[in-house]
Amino acid sequence: MLEIKCPYCGKRSQNEFSYGGDASVKRPQLEKEISDKEWDGFVYFRSNPRGKHSELWHHVAGCRQWFQVSRNTLTHEIFKTAKINEKL
């Protein structure tokens, strides 16, 4: 069982959260010319590291806020959590 510290509510069990994937994926900036390759990279391609991974979680059965988590994909250890507008 993961224990995740929601930046708004504090430590809660994994059951209250849902996962939102890799937080390092950045949507291409719309005002610039965007190549197909940039779009493909954004939509499909992931670094998928073994070790430290920054990711999005949703406190769906709680405050319903999205936030960032820095977590180890090999040991499941959670290093840090932060609000969306904060630096992780």
Partner 1 sequence: MQRYSIFSLIKNAFSNHQNWEVAWKDSEPKKKYDVVIVGGGGHGLATAYYLAKEHKITNVAILEKGWIGGGNVGRNTTILRSNYMWDPNGLFYEYGMKLWENLSQELNYNVMYSPRGIINLAHSDAQLNVYSRRGNSMRLNGIDAVMLGRDELKKMIPFADFSPSARFPIFGGLMQPRGGTARHDAVAWGYARQADSMGVDIIQHCEVTGFDVQNGKIQGVQTSRGNIKTKKVGLCVAGSTSLLAEKLNMKLPIESHVLQACVSEPVKPFLDHVVTFGAGHFYCSQSDKGEMVMGGDLDGYNSYAQRGNLPALQHVLSEGVAMFPNLSRLKMLRTWGGIMDMSMDGSPIIDKTHIDGVYLNCGWCYGGFKATPVSGWTFAYTIAQDQAHELNSKYKLNRFNTGHLIDEKGVGTKTWIG
Residues of the shown chain interacting with partner 1 in the complex, contacts defined by CB under 8 A: 1-2, 13-15, 18-19, 21-22, 36-37, 40-41, 43-50, 53, 55, 71, 73-76
Select 1 or 30, whichever has its Cβ closest to partner 1: 1
* Shortest reach from residue 13's CB to partner 1, in Å: 8
Among residues 61, 41, 85, 16, the alpha carbon closest in space to that of 1 is found at 16
Geometric angle at alpha carbon 65, from 54 and 78, rounded to 5°: 35
Type of residue at 85: N
Angle, CA 42 vertex, CA 36 and CA 47 arms, to 5°: 125
Nearer to partner 1, 8 or 18 (CB): 18
Min CB(23)–partner 1 separation in Å: 11
